[in-house]
Chains A and B, each alone.
Chain A
Amino acid sequence: MARLELETLTKRYGDFHATRDVTLDVEEGEFLVMLGPSGCGKTTTLRMIAGFVEPSSGSVRLGGRDITRLPPWRRNTGLVFQSYALFPHMTVNQNVAFALEMRRMPAAEIGTRVAEALRLVRLGHLGDRLPRQLSGGQQQRVALARALVFHPDILLLDEPLSNLDAKLREEVRVEIRNLQRELGITTVMVTHDQEEALTIADRLVVMNEGRVRQIGTQRDLYERPADRFVAGFVGRGSFLEGTSDGQGRFRTAGGLEIACAPVEAGPAVLGLRPERVGIASEGAENGFEAVVEFVSYLGGLVDLHCRLTDSDRVIAQMVNTGGGDLPKVGDRIRIGWPAAAAFVFSGEKAT
């Protein structure tokens, strides 16, 4: 159990920067998720923490100890892979015992610790099986037991749920989270699945093109995204391109005048979450005439894809109360949102 500190961690391959100045702290016992599209540098960062990739510059500190130049086998990190990576020629017991053997623990103690670790993941009865005799979910739980049995300073999870089907994914996710809380172990998980990230993390790091774009809680990322990329990557949204006048007015490319939070004057992008945009009454602030282009029925909610002008489109959302008619494609409706509901990012493009 330890605190992890990454400082200006950079990895270059020739001219290509896999990561650039990644700086972040993970508190003791915290569950941090690194989220981003493929190639964003999240896996490289994880591999630098585990010791499989040597950083070009920067440092990794674990529990106050500088481990930047330490080989993987001397780092005491528990690692769980997407492919499970169980040793196929060893039984479940032997797989879990491996790390303890490497630490030259007496056989009797190994037996106790292995049994305890397998009980923790509810697989105590399958110790004599070979990995190929287990289901995917069971294999991943063995991998988890194997990564925890030697009490690592930190648990690293590399897309641990990606190979499981949807139902199992949910199950193992809950299991990982409960186990992590119970043991209070510092954990870093890498994923590209935002739902997974949002439901499991204490705190998230969004990365893109090798850089950390934002670090924060789920609400920080969703309600106060730091930039256009984070706003688009976490949750859904509509984006309008235009210019800000610097005094709380935003003028879209299609000529709409929108009231918003004041940002620096110049080109900017305005972002809106669907649930903040609704059917508006006459005379309300930021109310606009729109044509329904597409209706997406989600059950309790209905998404209305609306065209405000030829170049400005916004998704509005309405609660389906079951009564009355729903807007249809081609209907003219009035939609609107409070000025404070929109994010405005100056100097960025919509796509």
Chain B
Amino acid sequence: MLARALDSRRLRRFALKAAAGVALLYILLPLGFVTWLSFYAQEIPSYPPKGYTLDWYVAIMGNERFLSGLLLSAQLGLIATAIGLAVAVPAALAIAHFRFRGRETVNNLLLLPLMVPGVVLGTAIYVFHVETEINTGLPILGSLGGLIWGHVLVTIPWIVRLVTASLAGFDRTLEEAAQSLGATPWTTFRRVTLPSILPGVVAGALFGFVSSFGNLEMTLFLVGPGRTTLPIAILQYLQWKVDPTIAAISVVQIVLVAVAMLVTDRFVKLSRAV
């Protein structure tokens, strides 16, 4: 009996590991192929490769559109995340700490940008910009401000979600303890609350940044003339050519995000927040 129970437990553990392995493979395989492809020597990707080269990476360096796109996407992501933090962290604190009417509604509204398809979000903001510009005469349409605003929307759900989650495990008597010891509410937040929820804040900021950095659909509606983010630059390139340059720039993106995650994880354990 015992042996059989042990066996079935071992079997179950094996099944679990196998399922996890398959899932992991499913995620990693495309990344692996893209990386492999980026070193192919021939211009039209076909199997087997005729040889290997670093030419495509050199090509990126010489591609003005990719470089400026990378720069714009990075700037956009950073600014949007910073503003997103300023809005979403206080919002998460309010949702976690106070019981007010419409609290659930506010919470759901803040998560909405994550659930609405990017095309719909982009169209909605675009129409809003058009209407506002017609009625007020303010030059919003295609402006950098409008683009940043859209990207802020994309970062907010991530930050709200992850900060709220880390606040759920936060003991509020710590805040009362700090105040009884002479800390003002602001000092209490800075010295006690923030250090406790930091993994959530950092993870939220990271995910917010990544989703802004890679956002294509919504951004298509909001970019003005001459402003090209990296995903748009890639799309435009794809319309003319399908060579391993695309794979190379994708690898650059993957590496950037992976490095950002690894570096962050060294300081704040992301696994504690997600």
Query: Which residues of chain A have a CB within 8 Å of any CB of chain B?
Result: 50-52, 71-79, 81, 83, 85-89, 98-99, 102-103, 146-147, 150, 156
A-B CB contact pairs (8 Å), 13 listed: A52-B176, A73-B181, A73-B182, A74-B182, A79-B180, A81-B176, A83-B171, A85-B171, A98-B181, A102-B183, A102-B187, A103-B182, A150-B181
Interface string of B224-238 (1 = CB under 8 A from A): 000000000000000
The complex places the Cα of A99 from the Cα of B188 at a distance, in Å, of 11
B177 in contact (CB, < 8 A) = yes
B60 in contact (CB, < 8 A) = no
Which of B171, B179, B187, B195 contacts A89, CB < 8 Å? B195
Q: DSSP class of B's interface residues: helix, strand, loop or mixed?
A: helix
The complex places the Cα of A157 from the Cα of B184 at a distance, in Å, of 21
The complex places the Cα of A77 from the Cα of B181 at a distance, in Å, of 8
Write out the residue numbers on chain A whose beta carbons fall within 8 Å of the beta carbon of B184: 73
The complex places the Cα of A9 from the Cα of B187 at a distance, in Å, of 30
Q: Are A87 and B173 in contact (CB under 8 A)?
A: no
Write out the residue numbers on chain A whose beta carbons fall within 8 Å of the beta carbon of B82: none
CB distance from A11 to the nearest CB of B (A): 17
CB distance from B167 to the nearest CB of A (A): 15
CB distance from A197 to the nearest CB of B (A): 22
Q: Are A89 and B196 in contact (CB under 8 A)?
A: yes
Write out the residue numbers on chain B whose beta carbons fall within 8 Å of the beta carbon of A103: 182
The complex places the Cα of A103 from the Cα of B179 at a distance, in Å, of 12
Q: Are A87 and B174 in contact (CB under 8 A)?
A: yes
Write out the residue numbers on chain A whose beta carbons fall within 8 Å of the beta carbon of B192: 87
Q: Are B182 and A79 in contact (CB under 8 A)?
A: no
B178 in contact (CB, < 8 A) = yes
CB distance from B174 to the nearest CB of A (A): 5
Q: Are A77 and B183 in contact (CB under 8 A)?
A: no
Write out the residue numbers on chain A whose beta carbons fall within 8 Å of the beta carbon of B182: 73-74, 76, 99, 102-103, 150
CB distance from A52 to the nearest CB of B (A): 6
CB distance from B183 to the nearest CB of A (A): 5
Write out the residue numbers on chain A whose beta carbons fall within 8 Å of the beta carbon of B183: 73, 98, 102
The complex places the Cα of A99 from the Cα of B183 at a distance, in Å, of 8
Write out the residue numbers on chain B whose beta carbons fall within 8 Å of the beta carbon of A85: 171, 173-174, 176-177
Q: Are A102 and B181 in contact (CB under 8 A)?
A: yes
Q: Give the residue name and chain of the A residue nearest to B176 (CB).
A: A52
The complex places the Cα of A163 from the Cα of B26 at a distance, in Å, of 48
Q: Are B180 and A72 in contact (CB under 8 A)?
A: yes
A88-B196, A156-B180 given; 5 more Cβ-contact pairs under 8 Å: A72-B176, A73-B182, A79-B177, A81-B177, A85-B171
The complex places the Cα of A68 from the Cα of B107 at a distance, in Å, of 35
Q: Are A77 and B180 in contact (CB under 8 A)?
A: yes
Write out the residue numbers on chain B whose beta carbons fall within 8 Å of the beta carbon of A99: 181-182
CB distance from A214 to the nearest CB of B (A): 29
With A81-B173, A102-B187 as given contacts, are A87 and B178 in contact (CB-CB < 8 Å)?
Answer: yes
Q: Which of B173, B174, B176, B180 has the most CB of A within 10 A?
A: B180
The complex places the Cα of A77 from the Cα of B177 at a distance, in Å, of 10
CB distance from A2 to the nearest CB of B (A): 16
Q: Are A78 and B180 in contact (CB under 8 A)?
A: yes
The complex places the Cα of A81 from the Cα of B195 at a distance, in Å, of 21
The complex places the Cα of A83 from the Cα of B177 at a distance, in Å, of 11
Q: Which of A74, A86, A98 has the most CB of B within 10 A?
A: A98
Write out the residue numbers on chain A whose beta carbons fall within 8 Å of the beta carbon of B191: 87, 98
Write out the residue numbers on chain A whose beta carbons fall within 8 Å of the beta carbon of B177: 79, 81, 85-87, 146
The complex places the Cα of A73 from the Cα of B171 at a distance, in Å, of 19
Q: Which of B174, B181, B195, B196 has the most CB of A within 10 A?
A: B181
CB distance from B165 to the nearest CB of A (A): 17
CB distance from B171 to the nearest CB of A (A): 6
Write out the residue numbers on chain A whose beta carbons fall within 8 Å of the beta carbon of B174: 85, 87-88
Write out the residue numbers on chain B whose beta carbons fall within 8 Å of the beta carbon of A79: 176-177, 180
Q: Give the residue name and chain of the A residue nearest to B177 (CB).
A: A85
The complex places the Cα of A153 from the Cα of B180 at a distance, in Å, of 12
Write out the residue numbers on chain A whose beta carbons fall within 8 Å of the beta carbon of B181: 73, 98-99, 102, 146-147, 150
The complex places the Cα of A5 from the Cα of B183 at a distance, in Å, of 25
Identify which of residues 159-213 in chain B touch chain A, using a CB-to-CB cut-off of 8 Å. 171, 173-174, 176-184, 187, 191-192, 195-196
The complex places the Cα of A117 from the Cα of B138 at a distance, in Å, of 63
The complex places the Cα of A52 from the Cα of B52 at a distance, in Å, of 69
Write out the residue numbers on chain B whose beta carbons fall within 8 Å of the beta carbon of A147: 180-181
Write out the residue numbers on chain A whose beta carbons fall within 8 Å of the beta carbon of B173: 81, 83, 85
CB distance from B138 to the nearest CB of A (A): 42
